[in-house]
Amino acid sequence: MISHTDFIKYFGLSLQDEPFISFLQEMVPGLVDYAAGDDLYMISRENGVEIGFTNCCALFIDSNGAILENLKPVFSHLTLYPPSLNILDKLPFNTNFSDRREAVISRAGTPTVTNAGFSALLNKKYLVDNYKIADIVVTYDYNADSEAINFIQIRDNELVQELKL
């Protein structure tokens, strides 16, 4: 088993870098192939892990969104769901998916940014706490009613521009 820090040490590496490829093949079985036109993630549903990439260098044809050229996707974010405990032995702030928001805050401290409200698009309430530590952001997405953890995302704040704190 590994810790979340074993993953994030690869932030900034290209999907084409051999050490990163070897790590993924060894540690996260069942990953779907990366397809920049469809998604920015490689997903292992069995293991509850989404490995996210920034691919701002990809060129797209405006009329239909097809990829003209796919250049170096860079590992920039990681999303963990409860099954990820099959491969992880340590989550950020020593939290666990059985923790509620109150327990997370007691271990992690006051969030840097909290977002809460109602999403008309999703037709549901949301509750998200973000913790910024240097260039890393750890996000806890909760069930807005029970305050149970839905998922945890860890990202490089400098690489994921659309979510930058």
Set out the domains of the chain in order of their start, with CATH numbers. Answer: 1-90 (no CATH), 93-154 (3.30.1450)
Residue corresponding to tokens 């909760």: 142
User: Mean pLDDT score of the chain, rounded to an integer?
Assistant: 87
pLDDT at 62 over 60: no
If pLDDT is split at 50, 70 and 90, which confidence band does 65 have? Answer: low
What is the per-residue pLDDT across 24-56, written as a single tens digit (0 to 9) for each?
988 888 888 776 555 578 888 888 999 998 876
Task: Specify the pLDDT at position 116.
Answer: 96
What is the per-residue pLDDT across 91-117, written as a single tens digit (0 to 9) for each?
999 999 999 999 999 999 999 999 999
pLDDT at 58 over 60: no
* Beta carbons of 97 and 85 less than 8 angstroms apart: yes
Supply the pTM of this predicted model: 0.86
